[in-house]
Structure 1
Amino acid sequence: QYNIFAGDPGFIDKDINSTLAVTTADVKRVYDKYIKNKNYVATSFVPKGQVALALEGSSKADVVEEAIVQGAEETIDASANATYKPTPSSFDRSKEPDYGKAPEIKAPAVWTEQLSNGLKLYGIENNEVPLVQFELVIDGGMLLEDINKIGVANLMAKMMTQGTKNKTPEQLEDAIEQLGASINFSSSAEDVRVRVNTLARNYTATLALLQEMLLEPRWDTKEFDLLKQNVISQIRQQEANPGAIAQNNYSQLLYGRDNIRSKNTLGTLESVNAITLDDLKAYYSKNISPSVARMHVVGSLNKAAITSSLANLATNWKSKQVQLPALTKPQAPTKSQVYFYDVPDAKQSVIRFGYPALAATDKDYYPVTVMNYILGGGGFASQLTQQLREGKGYTYGINSGFSGTNNVGPFTVASNV
């Protein structure tokens, strides 16, 4: 944009210097000139029929509500050729240009290491910016839960950010902010993940906070109760969301109701209400282990610096044996079937086509990924988008994809119509 509007890509330096040159007096002056005591227009939106809730002194706006009538849209002949005057061009746009030389991709070198407690390390040194990003992946997630009490792993992951043994949630949040870092825990169907982003100069201090969170969780009863209510609210919202309804029922059809992979990682209203803080502690004690964990690191620190920084974690995070379940391979349907879930008054239909396909470790996973880019994974370059959005105008968006992991995952075509 600097090159387009200022004619100089280096204008960013002038832009930054102009911002740095702003003084306290400048801020006060422009506030007085443009904000203070100026007339303004305020809008107040209230539920229909509850005018008393509007701002004092408001006058009712004259708004005409247009009735929505199905089938009243103007008929348009999509096959008719539009007439327009072409924009002059310096080259012949009717001829496809010659292909240039294929770009060369140089993949960065990945170093590996394993700590004494079994934690596997994978790293890339990148000194372009003074940042370090890393992700700790602990296998298990929902797969290690009791199928009759789903939601424990999700709640446990959320609790890991709610303070430590020696820090309240507020103190922990402040400590992370002071470092300009972010530390996020999450749980999925197959793992628990910790994502960390920090300045390279604050990496050691950020790692110390992560270790404190990981090894000394607070297990605060009040925070647990608040998190449960938050998850229950999420589940209720999903029950009214056509997209979530479609996805949850699609998973059950793919895997079968008795397969844990068919479950919503949030759980159900019944299962979440039944979960106790002791359930979270038990899951943590039994399953959070470096023996089933790996850490991916990218940033401006080398292998030696990263490895040595983790010596304390290797000593204090004790390894334990965690048995990951052997999953039953879902059976592909023997014939195509259509299932319908009625959502009264829904403005759109949510569509899912698919079947259990293959794992990411399958020899054909990369060929099908390339094939799917052409079919429905390449956005506007894909055939599904070109035909059904651009050509027919049936949908605003449609995509397809294979979502296998170490376990078999589905091939899915998804769209809202």
Structure 2
Amino acid sequence: SAIASIETTRENLPAVLRLVNEILREPSFPQSEFDQLKQETLTNIESRKSEPTSVAFTELSRYFNIYPKGHPNYSGTIEEEIADVKAVTLEDVKRFYKDFYGASNATLAIVGDFDEREISALTKELFADWKSPGGYTRIKSEYRAFAPINKSFETPDKANAVFVARLNVKIRDDSADYPALTLGNYMLGGGFLNSRLATRIRQKEGLSYGVGSSFNASSLDETGSFFANAIYAPENAEKLEAAFKDELAKLQKDGFTAEEVEAAKSGWLQSRQLSRAQDRELAGKLNSYLFLNRTIAWDADFEAKIKALAPEQVNAAMRKYITPDNITIIKAGDFAKAKEKMKTVQ
């Protein structure tokens, strides 16, 4: 997908839309700007080669990749990314734009102070006849289970290390267990400083500068994932991983308390309200809902399900889906130097 996002005033909105229309329908593609962007992109990729965050996330994506090279969703190596950028030409970009860009499958959401009738008419005037060259076919996401691995990658002379963990889950965001998994993850690592992972690893034991988790599920396909990450000093690698695994084991054994669940409901619901109060975030949500054929009523129903959750439902869902033995862990950092440093101290 391609997204255009603008922020302006009521009186300037019509002129801004006309400018967006001109840019989209009559792009100039100057060679000098293409060359500059290409060089900046290559410089950025090169700088990521030895960065722990980039190395860890690249290796994690590589392991979970199920697509062949050339597929839009393929996860390649950093070297492949560099080669692809070097190979692309301005003519390739122009050809791609000509073959794919148009408004036949476009959606538009506007939030704020504007004249709905005026802007609706103007939008039709500007974009109704901008037809896409070809038909649109959505690329479906495919669930696949992976055998867990636990690997470390050396990034010499880097002060920080990165820990990432992932588990694929066969679920969609309208599944019966999705509300319970959403709230469960909020308590485990999604609620930032109030989560179990943050309380244990960051605040109590001081092992990480930042730690958290996330859980997501597709709105269209039965595929989702649990993800966790932490930034830490390399010498804390073993302790951090042990604490992470211990918290998952406690979750499996004891679950969350009724008090935790009620507090989490309040915090999670408040975060949703704050998000909707931001025009940019609300516009993005409404725009995605146009594609999904949903309205904001979907949110109201989802939040009602969260409010109605009992601790037993949350614990049962977390035990069913977040299975510690199936989680893949990738670490990147200067662990060799950390080991030598610890030997010296001993």
- Which bin holds the TM-score, normalised by the shorter protein? 0.5 to 0.7
Alignment of 1:206-221 (within 5 A): 206-221=16-31
Contact 1:352 1:413 in 2 (8 A): yes
2 CA distance for matches of 1:304 and 1:226?
Answer: 41
The TM-score normalised by the length of structure 2 is: 0.60
2 CA distance for matches of 1:333 and 1:403?
Answer: 17
How far does residue 328 in structure 1 lie from its aligned partner after superposition?
A: 5.7
Instruction: Decide whether aligned partners of structure 1 residues 414 and 270 sit closer, same or farther in structure 2, where only a CA change above 3 A counts.
Output: same
Tell me what 1:352 maps to.
Answer: 164
Instruction: Decide whether aligned partners of structure 1 residues 264 and 198 sit closer, same or farther in structure 2, where only a CA change above 3 A counts.
Output: farther
1 CA distance for matches of 2:7 and 2:26?
Answer: 21
Tell me the SS of whatever aligns to 1:193. Answer: coil
How far does residue 310 in structure 1 lie from its aligned partner after superposition?
A: 0.6
Instruction: Decide whether aligned partners of structure 1 residues 193 and 227 sit closer, same or farther in structure 2, where only a CA change above 3 A counts.
Output: same
The one-letter code of the counterpart of 2:109 is H
Tell me the SS of whatever aligns to 1:249. Answer: helix
Contact 2:172 2:178 in 1 (8 A): yes
Tell me what 1:45 maps to.
Answer: none
The one-letter code of the counterpart of 2:165 is F
Tell me what 2:207 maps to.
Answer: 394
Matching residue within 61, 76, 82 for 1:251? 61
How far does residue 285 in structure 1 lie from its aligned partner after superposition?
A: 1.6
Instruction: Decide whether aligned partners of structure 1 residues 275 and 320 sit closer, same or farther in structure 2, where only a CA change above 3 A counts.
Output: same
Instruction: Decide whether aligned partners of structure 1 residues 409 and 224 sit closer, same or farther in structure 2, where only a CA change above 3 A counts.
Output: farther
Instruction: Decide whether aligned partners of structure 1 residues 326 and 206 sit closer, same or farther in structure 2, where only a CA change above 3 A counts.
Output: closer
Alignment of 1:285-304 (within 5 A): 285-304=98-117
Tell me what 1:192 maps to.
Answer: 2
Instruction: Decide whether aligned partners of structure 1 residues 370 and 265 sit closer, same or farther in structure 2, where only a CA change above 3 A counts.
Output: farther
How far does residue 208 in structure 1 lie from its aligned partner after superposition?
A: 0.8
Contact 1:353 1:413 in 2 (8 A): yes
- Would you say 1:202 and 2:17 are equivalent positions? no
Tell me what 1:238 maps to.
Answer: 48
Alignment of 1:323-362 (within 5 A): 323-324=136-137, 326-327=139-140, 329-334=142-147, 336-358=148-170, 361-362=173-174
How far does residue 333 in structure 1 lie from its aligned partner after superposition?
A: 1.7
Tell me what 2:32 maps to.
Answer: 222
Alignment of 1:59-78 (within 5 A): none
Higher alpha-carbon Rg: 1
Alignment of 1:66-215 (within 5 A): 191-215=1-25
- Would you say 1:377 and 2:190 are equivalent positions? yes
- Would you say 1:272 and 2:82 are equivalent positions? no
The one-letter code of the counterpart of 2:229 is A
Contact 1:254 1:262 in 2 (8 A): no
The one-letter code of the counterpart of 1:373 is Y
Higher relative contact order (CA 8 A, sep 6+): 2
Tell me what 1:139 maps to.
Answer: none
Alignment of 1:29-48 (within 5 A): none
The TM-score normalised by the length of structure 1 is: 0.50
2 CA distance for matches of 1:287 and 1:409?
Answer: 28
1 CA distance for matches of 2:105 and 2:169?
Answer: 26
2 CA distance for matches of 1:360 and 1:293?
Answer: 24
Tell me what 2:75 maps to.
Answer: 263
The one-letter code of the counterpart of 2:14 is T
How far does residue 277 in structure 1 lie from its aligned partner after superposition?
A: 1.1
How far does residue 249 in structure 1 lie from its aligned partner after superposition?
A: 1.4
Unmatched runs of 5 consecutive residues or more in structure 1: 1-190
How far does residue 282 in structure 1 lie from its aligned partner after superposition?
A: 1.8
How far does residue 409 in structure 1 lie from its aligned partner after superposition?
A: 4.2
2 CA distance for matches of 1:286 and 1:366?
Answer: 40
